[in-house]
Amino acid sequence: MAMSAQAPARDVQGLYKVQGLGLDACSSFLETPEKRRALYYSWITGYLTAYNYLVKDTYSIAEYSGLARTDQWFEKYCTDNPTHLLHQGARQFVTELYRVRLKAKPVPKKPSEFPER
């Protein structure tokens, strides 16, 4: 796993406590109408924020995917793995995106660097 190269944030047995909606099965996520999934997405973005904070050389794990693609990724993952728990999907998500994560805050472009239309 990508985080294993970093300082592990688990106990001596490699275990950690999952809290909140991360304990819900993917099937519950999928059964919730899209318009009512805000609490799930809030849990996911909290997970990603914690990951960004805790993992060295990581400004944003999901910068390249964007929120819409992140949502689509979870829908596909949960469709393919309905018995998995949401936190398992979150771990898989960060593992897949680790190599393309944004390592530092991007420097904003100056207006003169924008392409002409």
- Contact of 79 with 56, CB cutoff 8 Å: no
Q: Regarding predicted confidence, which is higher, 61 or 68?
A: 61
In a domain, 12, yes or no: no
pLDDT tens figures, 12-61: 988 889 999 999 999 999 999 989 999 999 999 999 999 999 999 999 99
In a domain, 113, yes or no: no
In a domain, 17, yes or no: no
Looking at the 3D structure of the chain, how many domains does it have? 1
Q: Within 13 Å of residue 51, how many CA atoms lie on the same side as its CB?
A: 25
pTM equals: 0.81
In a domain, 68, yes or no: yes
In a domain, 56, yes or no: yes
In a domain, 38, yes or no: yes
Predicted confidence band of residue 5 (pLDDT cuts 50, 70, 90): very low
Mean pLDDT of 60-66: 82
Q: Regarding predicted confidence, which is higher, 38 or 111?
A: 38
Q: Which domain holds residue 94?
A: 22-106
In a domain, 10, yes or no: no
For residue 96, the one-letter residue type is: E
Nearest-angstrom CA–CA distance, 93 and 96: 5
